[in-house]
Chain A
Amino acid sequence: EPEVTQTPSHQVTQMGQEVILRCVPISNHLYFYWYRQILGQKVEFLVSFYNNEISEKSEIFDDQFSVERPDGSNFTLKIRSTKLEDSAMYFCASSEPGGVVEEKLFFGSGTQLSVL
């Protein structure tokens, strides 16, 4: 069964450093998302992306965050200058187009980001 792949599974960085989290969505999917989950808390929506642009973002997704689809397969989340409170599990997700087939969101296994 096709799946969303995320790398790395764990990322440790120093406060103030830039990090890039990588995702390979399911190949025929057109909608891409990032969610995050701080330890012990809810899964939170960050951003959705379609047709090479952000379609919606949450309050969490401030100027320190950016997303990109640099080629036909990868989808990345960049945090420009990490803060301690950015420590969380980051999940990438993708979904196929709506229409006759109702959209299901498929999540990757996540990248655990630890900011020291």
Chain B
Amino acid sequence: DAKTTQPPSMDCAEGRAANLPCNHSTISGNEYVYWYRQIHSQGPQYIIHGLKNNETNEMASLIITEDRKSSTLILPHATLRDTAVYYCIVRVGRYNFNKFYFGSGTKLNVKP
């Protein structure tokens, strides 16, 4: 089952940074943190992932605490199109199949 805890919903003003927290206090040393999002009922869309270092790509930044028990996804300038459910997922190892466990996620509402 899902090994992460996320707030059920968050609001963010358009143009501001959206900071989505995730707790994964039972994460193991070889488990990666992945973030996906789902807009309406579309297929989940990959955003970013990391192991222990902070990561940044064209979509977002991922900040992982030093003890790796929590992380924050940052959307630097949220737009209305970023309204979606955001899932934080931990995955075992690098070579295992991607049997991701999706939790309930955080519903991000970006408001004008």
How many residues of B are in contact with the other chain, CB < 8 A?
23
**Is B102 touching A108 in the complex (CB atoms < 8 A)?**
no
Q: Which residues of B contact A63 (CB under 8 A)?
A: none
**Count of chain A to chain B residue pairs whose CB atoms are closer than 8 Å in the complex:** 61
A75, CB-defined interface residue at 8 Å:
no
Interface residues of B (CB under 8 A from A): 2, 32, 34, 36, 38, 41-46, 49, 87, 94-95, 97-104
A60, CB-defined interface residue at 8 Å:
no
**Is B102 touching A43 in the complex (CB atoms < 8 A)?**
yes
| CB within 8 Å for A107 and B98 given contacts A42-B104, A43-B38, A102-B32 | no
Task: Give the CA-CA distance A89 to B98 in the complex, in Å.
Answer: 19
Task: Give the CA-CA distance A37 to B101 in the complex, in Å.
Answer: 12
Q: Is the interface of A mostly helix, strand, loop or mixed?
A: strand
Residue of B nearest to A89 (CB): B41
- Greatest chain A CB density within 10 A among B36, B45, B98, B103 is at B98
Task: Give the CA-CA distance A109 to B45 in the complex, in Å.
Answer: 10
**Is B41 touching A55 in the complex (CB atoms < 8 A)?**
no
Task: Give the CA-CA distance A30 to B81 in the complex, in Å.
Answer: 31
Residue of A nearest to B91 (CB): A103
6 tightest CB-CB pairs across the interface, nearest first? A107-B43, A43-B102, A48-B97, A98-B95, A105-B98, A104-B46
